[in-house]
Amino acid sequence: MQKLGDYKLPQFFNYPPYFTLQPVRDTREKQVQLWKEMIVDYCRTQKIFVIGLEDDFPLFSNPVIQRFLSHEAREVFLSALVSDGRAEWLDKGHRKCLILWHRIQDWAEIVLQFVKDNGLEDSVMTVEEIRSGIESRGTELHGVDRTVLMRALKLLENKGKLAIFKGTSADDEGVKFSV
Amino acid sequence: MGNNRLFETATLTSSGRPVFLPNEVECQLLSNVDLEAEEESSSLFSLQSGLLILTTHRLLWFSSSSSSSAAPPVSASIPLASITHIFSPKKSIKSIFTSHRIRFQVTATDSRSVVIKVVVRGKVDWDGFLGNVWDCWRGRAWESFDTSERPCASGGLYGTDGSVRMVGVAGILRKEQEMWETTDKSLQDAFQDLNALMSKAKEMVMLAEKMRQKLLSGSSTQTSSTNEDEIGSKEEMHDWLLSVGIVSPVTKESVGALYHQQLLRQLADFVRNPLERAGGMINLIDIYCLFNRARGTELISPDDLMQACSLWQKFDVPVMLRKFDSGVMVIQNKSHSDEEIFNRIRAVVKKSEALRAGISASDAAITIGIAPAMAKEYLLSAESKGLLCRDISPDGFRFYINLFPNIDSLDVYLEMRASSKKWPLMVEQKWWRGGGQS
C-alpha cells in the first residue's frame, strides 16, 4: 500500500466515480475543483513541487477501492491547475508539471519577509543558502524548488529589490539584496 | 442439313397449315427454330430455321421454304408421347445472350433413343413456351381422348371442309385456347399502354426532380425576408406533387404519400401490445422484427418504418419515436414519463449495496424491470440530469448516485484507515439523515 505520510485523505477519495472523468458538465466541474484543491493541498503539506504525469503520484491511485486516474484525467486536472495559474507545464509534451501551491508572487513575498526577519536588507547571499542555509530552517523557503525560487528572485529583481549575479563558483548564483 | 429418317414427316393442308390429329390442339407457334438430333454427341440431323408448332399431341417442325427453293419442304413430327425426358435448361449468364434452347430425350421411329435439341432464336416468351411444353407433355392428351371422343362424320376438330369445329371436349379446349389468345392479345395491348405510361412517368419523375432541386436550392439561398413567400409556394408544390401521386421530394417537411399515412396508423395500433409487454419502451429494431413477422407478406423496409414513426408526431397517435443521445431509437407511449423510471433508479442506487458497488445496466434492468439496452439509456439519461455519475474500471461500466454536489470540498476529513470501505455507509448516515438529499 502506498504511503501517504501524515496526509489526511478526504472522504471522497474512496468514492469510485471520483477516479472516472465525468462527462456531464456540472459533475465534471465539481470533480475538477475537488481534484485541484486536493492536489494543491497535498503538494503544500508534502512540499512537492513537481508532478510527473507518468509517475506513481500517490494521489492518482487508490488501491483500497482499486481505482486510478487515467492519463487523460490526470492531464485534465493538472491543466485546470495551469489555467488557474497554480501550476505550469515544464515541457511541451505535458509530462511534467510544476505545482505552485504558492504563487510566484507569494514566494517573492516570503523571500522579502525572510530578508526582513533575518536583517539581510543589504547583504549578499547565494541562492543555495537561501533555500538550504541555517536561516531558512523552519521557514517555507527551506527545500524550496530551485526553479521556483529563481523565478521569485527574478520577480524581485525586476522590482529592484535585489540583484542576481553570477557567483565565484560555477554552480551557484548570488543575490544582493537592496530591500 | 441432314435427312430426317428418325421421325415421321408432318402433312400440311393446302394453305400450309399442319393437319392435326383428332383432338389435337395447337398450343404455340414459334418461328426461326432449329431442330437438331444428337446421339452421343454426334449430330444425326439438323433442321434449321423453321417453324415449330407445339400441340397437345406433337412437336411439329416445318421448314420455312421460300418459293424458289427446289428442295421439297422438310418437316418433322415428334409425338409428345415419344418424349421420355425433358432436360431442364441450364440457366447461366451465357444463356441470356445466346438463343433459347431445350433438349428432350426421345424414342425415335426405329426405337433408338436420341436427344432432340430445339433452338429458338429471337425474342420469344421462353418461359411461357417452356411452361406450355411441360403442360402439353404432362397433359398426355393423346391418351385420354384416343378412344373416347368419336364425333360424327370426320371426327376430330376439323370438319370435312377443313374448318374448325367447336364440338365436344375438343371444342371446349379450343374455346379455351381462343380465350387465352384474346386475353393474351389484350394484355399485350395493355402493356403497350403501360409502356407508354411508363415513359410518361419517367418524364414526370424528371420533372419532380427538377422541382425538388429548385426547392432545395431556393431554400438555401433565400434571405429571411422572402421566406414567407418561399414557404407558401413550397406548400403548393408539395400539394401538387402529392396529388400527382409522387411522394414529396423534401420528405422531412411533407406529410408523405398515402401509403405512409396508412402504414403509420397501422403501426401505431400494432405497437400497443408489445409496448405494454416491454414496460413502456421498446427498441425500434425489435418493432421492425415483430411487425414484419406479424405481417407475413408485404414486409416493410427499415426506411418505411423510420418514415412512419417519424410521421407520428404529425398525427394524433398515442405513441412516439424517441432518439437517445447514443443514437438508439425507441418507441414509447406519449404518456410515458421518464420521471417514474428515474424515481425507481433513485431508489435503487440508494440501497447500501449500490452505495458501495454502484449498479450496472443489467442490475438496473433486473431491479427496475426494463430491457438491458433501455436500462443503459435510462442510466445515461439520469447521469446527464445529474442524478448519477459513472465509474469506469476493469470491473465494468457502473453508475453511482451522484454525490459530487454534496461534497463540501476538503472540509470533511477522514483519517485514512485500512477499513475505509465504511465510508459509503458513513456517507449514508451523514447525507441521508441530513434531510433527504436527492
Residues in chain A with CB shorter than 8 Å from the CB of B390 are 17, 20, 22-23
Domains A3-99 and A104-177 are alike in CATH topology: yes
| Contact check, Cβ <8 Å, B392/A20 | yes
Q: What is the pLDDT of residues A70-110, one digit of tens each?
A: 999 999 999 999 999 899 999 888 899 999 989 899 999 99
- pTM value is 0.50
The answer to whether the CB of A73 falls within 8 A of the CB of A21 is yes
The answer to whether the CB of A21 falls within 8 A of the CB of A68 is no
The CA distance from B233 to B120, in Å, is: 57
pLDDT at B94: 64
The CA distance from B244 to A86, in Å, is: 70
Interface contact B414, partner A, CB < 8 A: yes
Res. A40: pLDDT tops 50: yes
Interface contact B423, partner A, CB < 8 A: yes
The answer to whether the CB of A152 falls within 8 A of the CB of A107 is yes
Q: What is the CATH number of domain A3-99?
A: 1.10.10.570
Closest approach of B379 to chain A, Cα-based (Å): 13
Geometric angle at alpha carbon B15, from B10 and B20, rounded to 5°: 40
Hey, where are the domains in chain B? 2-143, 171-220+229-242, 252-333
| Contact check, Cβ <8 Å, A24/B389 | yes
For domain B2-143, say whether CATH 2.30.29.30 is its number: yes
ipTM: 0.82
Residue of B nearest to A25 (CA): B384
Hey, where are the domains in chain A? 3-99, 104-177
Interface contact B420, partner A, CB < 8 A: yes
pLDDT: is B111 or A44 the higher one? A44
- Which residues are CB-neighbours of B229 under 8 A, at least 6 positions away? none
Q: Which residues of chain B have pLDDT under 50?
A: 1-2, 66-69, 146-156, 222-225, 246-256, 411-438
- Which residues are CB-neighbours of B226 under 8 A, at least 6 positions away? none
- Which residues are CB-neighbours of B195 under 8 A, at least 6 positions away? none
Query: What kind of fold does domain A104-177 have according to CATH?
Result: Arc Repressor Mutant, subunit A (1.10.10)
Longest dimension (CA), chain A: 58
pLDDT at A56: 86
Q: Which CATH architecture has domain B252-333?
A: Orthogonal Bundle (1.10)
- Which residues are CB-neighbours of B215 under 8 A, at least 6 positions away? B234, B237, B249, B250
